[in-house]
Amino acid sequence: MHTSKGEFMTNKPKCILVTGRPGSGKSTLIDKLSKKLYLPKISRDEFKEGYVNTFGVKHDKLPKETNGVVNQVFFDTILNMLKGNISLIIEAAFDHKNMGLYSSRYNGNLQFIYNSM
């Protein structure tokens, strides 16, 4: 039992990262985890779709830097949520280079789930 507000406010936010190959069921898994754990979910694919819909063009008509722009906004959003002590579930088909780069910037409760189904 906590005797003051400050004692329990020292916990770091949880960050569950679900990754895997396209079509492996990552989105289905984060939907279920989000509901079960009462955590918000963040999907890189949804960020990219939002970006694509802003311009109203097909994916093949987007500029080369699109993935870089979307990744930067995606990771900045995640880091801002974690800095604000908001626990969350993240879904993306990460390449190991990006996963290591951004996960090294967070020193809290980080859990990886690789969905290989």
14-63 pLDDT per residue, tens: 888 888 888 888 899 999 999 999 999 999 999 999 999 998 888 888 88
Q: Please, what is the average pLDDT of the chain?
A: 81
Predicted pLDDT at 4: 57
Q: Which CATH number fits domain 13-115: 3.40.50.300, 3.30.70.260, 3.90.1640.10, 2.120.10.30?
A: 3.40.50.300
Span 92-108, average pLDDT: 61
Alpha helices in 56-103 (DSSP H): 66-83, 96-103
- C-alpha closest to that of 33 among 110, 113, 117, 98: 113
More confident position, 5 or 36? 36
- Cα dihedral 76→81→82→83 (10° resolution): 80
